[in-house]
Amino acid sequence: MLMSNFLRQTRAGGATEASDVLVQCLQDLLRRLVSRKGVKHAIIAVERGDESFRWIGAAGDAKPDGTPMRADTPFFIASVDKLFTATVILKLRERRHVGLDEPISTYLPQTLIGGLHRLGGVDYTGTITVRHLLSHTSGLADWLEDRPKGGRSLVERLIHEGDMSLSIDDLVHIVRDQLPPHFPPQPVKAKRQKVRYCDTNYVLLIAIIEAVTGQPLHQVHEELLFRPLDLRHTWLAGHSRPLEPTPKPAMLWVDSEPVEIPLMMRSFWGVYSTTEDTLSFLHALIRGEVFDDPATLSLMQ
């Protein structure tokens, strides 16, 4: 309905009038979104590829005290941060620090990953490559959302038990000792591959980044992404601060309850950012401005 109204108005009244109609539709959409049960706040950003139209709107409460959500309010970007991680891995590939088809054992010690992927009496850990992690084809269990037999997932434990701090060794221990893999690492050249989204893959990529650079992730992000791309209001929770003064971030919510989990946010390198910074990163990525070799972007497809 939104796009059909927009297209009809474009034909009837021209681009300016059509943009006005689209803005009204987006504002209505935003109001309806935050009126839903369990939705405390929202930001919507829409931009045309040629930048002839751009709109960012915010609604709802950023804080339980009624502080309004604004277009420049930072928010937890959740798994969008995997795009940052993948980008850094590919930049390290350009510098010949990482090979996509290298086993992860090339970069990570056996004390960390030994016996991580055992299925049907076979240990597949040595066959997992960096590419498997990037493409979610490793078959590894998800440390965050998978449930151990007769137990709760880590997400459920957070809700019921409260905040907790976990090291990467703790996360890997959960996967190795409590959560069975879902399938073997998939053949790279297979026409059909099993794919299962898994946070464990990207935790291991973070470990690889830190291992090959000798730096903590937040410093690598600042050096390779945040400073070069002028992302002044993006940071890793509990590890770094934004490069410039930035409003306090929006609160996390579970159902109708505000949730503060700074220890866990730090444990999984949670990223806060703003809509402007997120759009700036996406622009640079799509336009080939992030990588030294424009062909590198095709590896993300």
Q: What is the pLDDT of residues 238-260, one digit of tens each?
A: 999 999 999 999 999 988 889 99
- Alpha-carbon distance 55 to 17, whole Å? 15
117 and 30, same domain (yes or no): no
The range of the structural domain enclosing residue 12 comes to 2-69
The predicted pLDDT at position 17 comes to 65
8 and 61, same domain (yes or no): yes
100 and 228, same domain (yes or no): yes
191 and 86, same domain (yes or no): yes
Residue 3 has pLDDT above 90, yes or no: no
Write out pLDDT tens, residues 168-224. 999 999 999 999 999 999 999 898 999 999 999 999 999 999 999 999 999 999 999
Q: Is residue 171, in this structure, part of any structural domain at all?
A: no
End-of-domain residue from the set 21, 38, 69: 69
49 and 90, same domain (yes or no): no
- Alpha-carbon distance 248 to 239, whole Å? 16
CA proximity to 144, closest of 104, 108, 171, 113: 171
The predicted pLDDT at position 250 comes to 98
Tally the residues of the chain. 301
Q: Is residue 235, in this structure, part of any structural domain at all?
A: yes
63 and 83, same domain (yes or no): no
Question: What percent of the chain has a predicted confidence (pLDDT) above 70?
Answer: 94
The predicted pLDDT at position 18 comes to 64
Cα angle, residue 133 at apex, residues 175 and 234 outer, rounded to 5°: 95
CA proximity to 229, closest of 99, 88, 94: 88
> For 291-296, which contacts have Cβ atoms below 8 Å and span 24 or more sequence positions?
291/90, 291/91, 291/94, 292/91, 292/94, 293/94, 296/90, 296/91, 296/93, 296/94
88 and 235, same domain (yes or no): yes
Q: Is residue 279, in this structure, part of any structural domain at all?
A: yes
Average pLDDT along the chain: 93
Q: Max CA-CA distance within the chain?
A: 68
Write out pLDDT tens, residues 89-134. 999 999 999 999 999 999 999 999 999 999 999 999 999 999 999 9
Q: Is the pTM of this model over 0.85?
A: yes
The predicted pLDDT at position 5 comes to 40
253 and 201, same domain (yes or no): yes
Q: Is residue 65, in this structure, part of any structural domain at all?
A: yes
The predicted pLDDT at position 198 comes to 97
pLDDT band at 16 (very low <50, low <70, confident <90, very high): low
End-of-domain residue from the set 69, 86, 103: 69
Q: Is residue 35, in this structure, part of any structural domain at all?
A: yes
Bigger pLDDT: 301 vs 120: 120
Q: Is residue 167, in this structure, part of any structural domain at all?
A: no
54 and 187, same domain (yes or no): no
End-of-domain residue from the set 48, 69, 90: 69
CATH of the domain at 213: 3.40.710.10
The domain tally of the chain equals 2
Q: Is residue 200, in this structure, part of any structural domain at all?
A: yes
Q: Is residue 209, in this structure, part of any structural domain at all?
A: yes
235-236 β-sheet, strand order = 75-76, 271-273, 235-236
59 and 191, same domain (yes or no): no
82 and 51, same domain (yes or no): no
132 and 210, same domain (yes or no): yes
